[in-house]
């Protein structure tokens, strides 16, 4: 194999290895980034849920104070008690909605990270198989350099020796 062909093969291997490694690294980094982003979303979700719970308690406290200042009783059945119950029910539903919204965002972010990671693996394996194919392609058609002769080409043909129609045994002279 000529030096130029060897250099070509090495160049192909290096280029494919760099491309495959880059693809894999990008996938790994995307997966790490998605985990960090999901953690930030979790933190934001908890903060927003706490804020909503605090607003709900403050609203209920304000309603309670207004009812008591107006002389409306909070015990038993009645509009005031029902209104306070509804305030807490709506607040709880909003807190659950916030949780669901953020959970869906987290799932989407993590799914994208996994997808990018899997694409990185595909890129890695594609690069390796492409490299193997390139090497096989470059080496499968290998031929000896032109200045080297095969052993059959270096033998001299046998000349003379066999005569026909002679009386010597085997026709040799």
pLDDT, tens digit, 9 for 90 and up, residues 7-22: 877 887 788 888 888 8
Computed over every residue of the chain, the mean pLDDT equals 82
Domain housing 13: 3-166
Query: Would you say residue 66 lies in a domain?
Result: yes
Query: Would you say residue 171 lies in a domain?
Result: no
Query: Would you say residue 173 lies in a domain?
Result: no
pLDDT, tens digit, 9 for 90 and up, residues 71-91: 888 876 778 888 999 999 999
160 in Cβ contact with 172 (< 8 Å): no
Query: Would you say residue 172 lies in a domain?
Result: no
> In which band, very low, low, confident or very high, does the pLDDT at 163 lie, cut at 50, 70 and 90?
low
Q: How many Å apart are CA 19 and CA 9, to the nearest integer?
A: 15
Q: For residue 96, what pLDDT is reported?
A: 97
Q: Is the pLDDT of residue 135 over 80?
A: no
Q: How many Å apart are CA 118 and CA 113, to the nearest integer?
A: 9
Q: Which residues pair with 162 in a beta bridge?
A: 172
Query: Would you say residue 126 lies in a domain?
Result: yes
Number of domains in the chain: 1
Q: For residue 81, what pLDDT is reported?
A: 86
Q: How many Å apart are CA 67 and CA 81, to the nearest integer?
A: 10
pTM of the model: 0.64
CA dist 163 to 15, 156, 158, 166, 171, Å? 65, 20, 14, 7, 6
Query: Would you say residue 141 lies in a domain?
Result: yes
Query: Would you say residue 47 lies in a domain?
Result: yes
Query: Would you say residue 140 lies in a domain?
Result: yes
């Amino acid at each position: 194999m000529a030096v130029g062909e060897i250099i070509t093969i090495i160049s192909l291997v290096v280029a494919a290895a760099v491309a495959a490694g880059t693809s894999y690294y990008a996938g790994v980094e995307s997966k790490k980034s998605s985990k960090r982003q999901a953690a930030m979303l979790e933190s934001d979700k908890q903060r927003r849920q706490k804020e909503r719970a605090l607003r709900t308690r403050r609203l209920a406290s304000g309603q309670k104070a207004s009812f008591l200042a107006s002389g409306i009783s909070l015990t038993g059945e009645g509009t005031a008690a029902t209104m306070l119950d509804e305030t807490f029910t709506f607040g709880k539903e909003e807190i659950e909605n916030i949780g669901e919204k953020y959970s869906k965002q987290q799932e989407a972010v993590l799914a994208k990270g996994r997808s990018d990671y899997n694409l990185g693996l595909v890129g890695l394996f594609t690069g390796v198989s492409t490299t193997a194919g390139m090497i096989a392609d470059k080496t499968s058609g290998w031929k000896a350099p032109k200045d080297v002769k095969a052993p059959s080409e270096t033998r001299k043909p046998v000349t003379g020796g066999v005569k026909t129609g002679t009386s010597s045994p085997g026709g040799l002279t």
